[in-house]
Structure 1
């Protein structure tokens, strides 16, 4: 009788534990937008089953939109950074905190990140009929006095053409069913350049975006999402097509490694790090070429 009771208790406990684990895993799968153990990367625009992948490596590139090859992504009035920022404000795109794509960033935090630090705001000359008194009061064109606190200072945001640095995370893998190497873009991050952040002199990430969400919700069938063609204004490319063709050029700054280090952190000399970056990219091209020898 005691043995039977103990068996029932253990069985009940096991079922309860199994149910708890199942519910937890299912909720996490829903939260991150993919299904557990189905073999697909659901952050990919065109997912490939893991059984078809013979080789895979994650790489990160730093992209300067001021570089000549990248200027079509940064045409005046059609800057990719401005397009993305406007989409976030309209609720079309939701940002992430980092490129793991696990934690969403609130719109309030995003708007805070694109504001110019108050001590760096450069104010325009005040018109002659508006002047500041010794008691920090402001004359309001004859309508009355008001303190600066009452008037308030509207926070200024970075202009799109000031945000010319992107970081792109790509999953590079060899698809054995198509017999080719695939550059599967995962994320794009907008970076505040160091020169635009003189308070610290450091770059700062504004937010990270799922490339799949950018394509599906913003780039595709959007006449404003253009890769600008200077030679023929009737033949601008869509941004999705431009990225698919890898028309963007960037510097390799990191590849997946056990210490999660950037290439710059692996070498003492900046020139040596740059050569190592170029050598790593060359080796990846050579690896693909050597697959078909012999």
Structure 2
């Protein structure tokens, strides 16, 4: 009888231990954005990689078809409240829909004065306070008396949202993991970030500006819930369009590496001293990861 109770207690303890482990793994997976997390006990090798995706490239155009751009699908889901946006790929702080919309907007630049107008003595000040030649303009108040000039505050410049076609730059964060149980390398996507391209004339900062970062697991839910919009367009066969979630799973896009995890958290172009050197380093990094996977079979 004592042996029976001991065996029952051992079985109950193992069950609780397995449940606790499963719960811990599920919580970790939901917090890092992974859609198909791999248990830590099965991971032999892992390297975090950041990739840039230019949706204007020929191989990426199926994700950027007219009226069904991936940027449109994501932003409309944010506006409907179906998708949570984060400030960065650490996923520790969030944006509300209004902040995301502001990140995707730009202010109309003021036309300013021409060179001829500046040479003639005109200034950017409100012309209602002077006569256009630097002399205060007289204003009459009550009983014909001259009133003090009133300086009017010009209205703020108008703000406009970028077109979805303008948002053609994305950044993907993934863990390249070698699963020793299945003996293969996996691309475990964590996050996708939408960026305002630096090449847009309306982006006066001249640098890429993040609009928002999104968990890949959340994006898969949005793509699956909107199959009529989240389409990877098949240019060869209209009967074989795929869902954007399938396109990511099948890796039906082109990208290039911009950062590999390192102690200083630096991008490749910063490490190697220039954009051109960074492109060469990206090709080398991709080749090194492929060679590592192949070399595993030589032992």
Partners of 2:195 and 2:28 lie apart in 1 by: 29
Shift of 1:271: 2.6
State the partner residue of 1:41. 29
Deviations 1:252-283 (A, max 9, x none): 00011100000000112433221111011011
- The aligned length equals 237
Worse overlay, 63-72 or 263-272: 263-272
1:63 to 53, 65, 69: 53
Offset of residue 154 of structure 1: 6.1
Q: For residues 37 and 189 of structure 2, what CA distance do their matches in structure 1 show?
A: 11
- Cα deviation, residue 219, structure 1: 3.6
Q: TM-score when scaled to structure 1? A: 0.74
Note the C-alpha offset of 1:203: 1.1
**Shift in Å, 1:38:** 7.1
Match of 1:142 in 2: none
Which residue number in structure 1 is paired with residue 237 of structure 2?
232
**1:23: which partner in 2?**
none
Counterparts of residues 111-126 of structure 1 (less than 5 Å): 111-119=101-109
Gaps spanning 5+ residues in structure 1: where? 1-33, 122-133, 136-148
| Rounded Cα–Cα distance in structure 1 between residues aligned with 2:210 and 2:247 | 24
Contact 2:60 2:253 in 1 (8 A): yes
Q: Which moved more, 1:36-45 or 1:200-209?
A: 36-45
User: Match of 1:157?
Assistant: 161
What is the alpha-carbon distance in structure 2 between the residues aligned to residue 85 and residue 36 of structure 1? 32
SS at match of 1:272: helix
Contact 1:93 1:218 in 2 (8 A): no
Distance in 1 of aligned mates of 2:177 and 2:86: 24
1:167 aligns with 171
Residue 95 of structure 2: aligned partner: 105
User: Which runs of at least 4 in structure 1 moved beyond 4 Å after TM superposition?
Assistant: 34-40, 151-154
Deviations 1:121-158 (A, max 9, x none): 9xxxxxxxxxxxx97xxxxxxxxxxxxx9x99763211
**Which residue of structure 1 lines up, in the alignment, with residue 272 of structure 2?**
267
Deviations 1:153-195 (A, max 9, x none): 7632111000100000011101111111000111000000112
Unaligned stretches of 5+ residues in structure 2: 1-21, 112-126, 129-152
Alignment of 1:190-229 (within 5 A): 190-196=194-200, 197-219=202-224, 222-229=227-234
Partner of 1:27: none
**Matched residues in 1 for 2:260 and 2:283: separation?**
12
Match of 1:245 among 247, 250, 253: 250
Number of the residue aligned with 1:80: 70
Note closer, same or farther for the CA distance 1:218–1:255 as it changes in structure 2 (3 Å cut).
Answer: same
> Aligned Cα RMSD in Å?
2.6
For the structure 1 residues 38 and 65, does the alpha-carbon distance in structure 2 shift closer, same or farther, using more than 3 Å as the test?
closer
Please report how far the alpha carbon of residue 95 of structure 1 lies from its aligned counterpart in structure 2 after TM superposition. 0.3
User: If you compute each CA radius of gyration, which structure gives the higher value, 1 or 2?
Assistant: 2
Inter-partner Cα distance in structure 2 for 1:219 and 1:100: 25
Contact 1:40–1:48 at 8 Å: present in 2 too?
no
